Amino acid sequence: MTAAFGDFADSNGLEASVVDALRKDAALTLSFVAVDGSAIVGHVAFSPARIVNGPPAWFGLAPVAVARAHRRRGIADQLIRTGLETLRTRGAAGCVVLGDPAYPAYYARFGFEPDPALFVAGVPAPFVQRLCFHGEPPRGEVRYHPALS
């Protein structure tokens, strides 16, 4: 899936290695792929996200990839929705994502919203978005697995 990230301005080319590191550390909670024939054309990953002094059972959404030739067909949408529903049915409290505030509607369609009460060290506040499945929205610093830093 490295090729799926290659033409994004914010890609560092390491997304596939992030997924490998999450797997290696048994920190890849969910991983879904989309296939076309025998080719993987999309992928989404979810891993634990700790909110310092916050409630347990929060997860981070990242990375998401769809091969260029298969974009704009709803593949990422379906992968994300499947992952979020799976987290919800497994009792997760919620999910966080770093989303570009220049495209607020992208993650909003899944229920994510920016939350200035949450922050990730070194990341501008408008990028941090959360989706609560139950309970009060958390407050504090979000810490992802080191592979996502």
Task: Find the DSSP H helices in 1-149.
Answer: 2-5, 15-24, 75-89, 104-108
DSSP 8-state class, residue 137:
P
> Would you list the domain boundaries of the chain?
2-148
Please give the biggest Cα pair distance in the chain: 45
pLDDT in the model for residue 9: 40
CA nearest neighbour of 112 among 94, 92, 85:
94
The structure tokens listed for 73 are: 């067909």
- The predicted-structure confidence for 48-64, as pLDDT tens digits, reads as follows 999 999 999 999 999 99
* pTM of model > 0.85: yes
CATH number for the region 2-148 comes to 3.40.630.30
- Which three-class secondary structure state does DSSP give residue 20? helix
Low-confidence stretches of the chain (pLDDT < 50) are 1, 4-12
- The predicted-structure confidence for 110-135, as pLDDT tens digits, reads as follows 999 999 999 999 999 889 999 999 99
Structural contact between residues 58 and 50, judged by C-beta atoms closer than 8 angstroms: yes
Cα three-residue angle 144-134-62, rounded to 5 degrees: 30
Residue with tokens 């990953």: 45
CA distance 19 to 22: 5
Cα 68 to the center of its chain, rounded Å: 19
pLDDT in the model for residue 11: 42
Structural contact between residues 124 and 131, judged by C-beta atoms closer than 8 angstroms: no
